[in-house]
Structure 1
C-alpha cells in the first residue's frame, strides 16, 4: 500500500513546516500563550491567505476539497510546532458543522467569513456531567412562537475566550439523555443573557464556562433541522478527534527527537548519557510507541476516506492507542531530561502538557476503548 504524500499534500506539509521553522519559534509561542487573545491574529490572517483554513471544505463550498489525509498532514505539522492558533475549534468543529448543516446563503456567508479568517468560532457542546457523551445535554432551547429561549450551561468550551460567535448544542425536546431532540443554534458571544468565564488550560490554550439565561434567539439562528443535529455532531467530533490524533503524532515525534539530542549532549560520569543502555532501551520504547501511533493514525485516515461506515471504530482505535503513546512518550521525555523539563523555559515540558491535553480531548483512552468495544 502506498502511503506517500501526493504533490499537493507535500506542498502543504512543506508550507506549514517552513512557517513553523521561520516564524513560530518557542519564544513566539510563549508570547502568544501569555497574550490576552491567546492566538496571533496576524498568523491567523496568514493561514487564511495561504489557504490553510480552506483545506477541509469542498470546492462547492469554496474550499480546497481536502480530505482526512490533508487534514492529517496539516495537523501533524501543527503538532510539531505546538501552534496555539485555534484551528480545530474554528475549522474542524464549527466549520464542519456549518458545512454539514448550513444551507443556501447562510452557509455561503458563514463559511466565507470563516475561511477568510474574519470571525472566531467556538462549539459549545460539553456539559459538567456529560463525560464525553455527546447526547447528554441539559441545556434547553424552548420554542415560543417564532423565537427560542436558551437556558443552560456549557463547560470547557475550546476557544471560548476569543470566540465572537458560538455554536450551541441545545435540547429542543426530550429528556437530557435522549439521542433525539438536539438542535444547533448560532449565538452571538456578547448577546444579552450570555455569561462567559474564561481561563487557561494546562497547555496554555484558552477555554470558557458559558451560562445562558433566557437568551432570545430567532428562528434564523437555528442551524439545520430542529432536533436532528446529533448525527452531524458525532461525525464532526470524530473528525476533530482524528485531527487531535495527528497533532499528537507530530508533537510526539519532536518530543522524541529532542530527548535523543539531549542525551547526546548531557554528560554524566564523564560520558554522554546516551551511552547508558537503560536509557537507550527507554528511548527505543519511545520510538516504537511513536511508530505504532503513526501507523494507527494512517489506518484511521484511510478507513475514514475509503470506508466511512467504519470510520468511528477506526478513529476510536487510533485515539486509544495514540492516547496511551502520548502519555508514555511525554512522561519519558520529562523523566530523561530531569528537573529542567518541568520549567517554563524548556519546550519539552510544554510538549508533555499538550500531549496530556490531547490524550483527554474528545474522549480519553479508557473512553475510546469502551466505545470501540461497543461498536464491534
Structure 2
C-alpha cells in the first residue's frame, strides 16, 4: 500500500497548516468556508466523500495547531452517524446544514460508571408518538455550543440513537472546560422527543464503526501535537544557553531529542497501519485501532512530558505552548476509551 500523500491530501495539509498557524480557533463557520466540514459527508448530500486518510491529514494539522474546536466529534463522528443512520430528504437536509456550518451536532455517548461501554443506562420509553428519555451523559465534547445532540438510549434490548435539541425543555446542561482548555458539557435528560427523532433502534455496530474513525483521527491529532512539541524542543535547545554554551551541544540532550523523534515515528507507523486496516474486516480493523490507540497515547504522554522537562521551568507555565500538548494528550486519552480499555479490546480476539 502506498502511504505517501496524494496531491489533494498534500494541498490540504499545507493549506491547513498555514491557516491554523494564524487562527487555531478558527470557528465552525471558518471550517465550513474552507470545505473541511464537507470531507466526511457523502457526495450525494453535497459533501466531498472523503476517506479516513483524508480526515487524518486534517486532524494531524489540528493537533499540531492545538485547535480547540470539536472537529472530530462534530465533523467526523456526528457526520458519519447521520449519514449511515438517517435516510431520505431528512438525511440530506441535515447533512447540508452540517456542511454549511449552520447546525452543529455533538454525540453524547458515555455515562457515569460506564467505563466507555456503549450499552447505555439512559432509557427511552415509548409514549404514543414520542419517546421519553431519562438519564445522564458525561464528557460531551463541544456540547456547550452544539445545536443538537446525538444521544444513545436503551431501547428494546438494543442501543437506540436519538436526535435531541440541546435547548429543548427537559435537557439540563452543565458547561465546563477541560484542563487543556476545550469546551465540554454534561447533560441530564428528562425529555420527550418525537418518534421521528429516533435515527435507529439498533445503532450499536454503526456507532462502533464511526467511533473507530474518530479514534484514528484522534491518534493523528496526537501525532501532529507530538511533532510540533519535538520541533519546539529542538529549537529551544539551540537557543538556550547553560554553562557558557548552547544546550543543544550537550550530547545527552541530543540523544534525548533523537529518542523523541524515534518514538513519534513509531506512532506514525501505527496510524498508517490503522488506516490500511479500514479496507479489511471489522475484527482486524478493531485490533489495529486499539493497538494504535495504546501506542499513541503511551507515547504521546511520554514524548510531550519529556518536551516539557527539556524546556525546564518555562515548560510548566500555562503561557508557554509546549505544556499544552501534554495537557491535550492527558485529556484526549480518555475521549473514546483509555489505554486499559483498548488493551482489553485488543486482546479480545
TM bucket, shorter chain: over 0.9
Long gaps (5+) in structure 1: 33-39, 175-180
The Cα of 1:58 is off from its aligned counterpart by 2.1
Match of 2:216 among 242, 253, 266: 242
Q: Kindly provide the CA deviation profile for residues 264-309 of structure 1, in whole angstroms up to 9, marking residues without a partner as x.
A: 1111111111122222222121111100000100110111135555
2-structure distance, mates of 1:55, 1:192: 33
Q: How does 1:81-92 map to 2 (within 5 A)?
A: 81-92=65-76
2-structure distance, mates of 1:10, 1:306: 25
Q: Once superposed, what is the RMSD of the aligned Cα atoms?
A: 1.4
2-structure distance, mates of 1:19, 1:305: 31
TM-score (norm 1): 0.90
| Further displaced range: 125-134 or 352-361 | 352-361
SS of 2:279's partner is: helix
Q: How does 1:4-43 map to 2 (within 5 A)?
A: 4-21=4-21, 23-24=22-23, 29=24, 40=26, 43=27
2-structure distance, mates of 1:257, 1:297: 20
Q: Is the 8 A contact 1:252 1:330 kept in 2?
A: yes
Q: Is the 8 A contact 1:293 1:321 kept in 2?
A: yes
Find the counterpart in structure 1 of residue 39 from structure 2: 55
TM-score (norm 2): 0.97
Q: Is the 8 A contact 1:255 1:351 kept in 2?
A: yes
The Cα of 1:362 is off from its aligned counterpart by 0.8
Q: Kindly provide the CA deviation profile for residues 231-269 of structure 1, in whole angstroms up to 9, marking residues without a partner as x.
A: 111111111100100100000000001011111111111
Matched, 1:291 2:260: no
Q: How does 1:1-376 map to 2 (within 5 A)?
A: 1-21=1-21, 23-24=22-23, 29=24, 40=26, 43-135=27-119, 137-174=120-157, 181-213=158-190, 215-224=191-200, 226=201, 228-374=202-348, 376=349
Long gaps (5+) in structure 2: none
2-structure distance, mates of 1:292, 1:134: 30
Q: Is the 8 A contact 1:326 1:359 kept in 2?
A: no
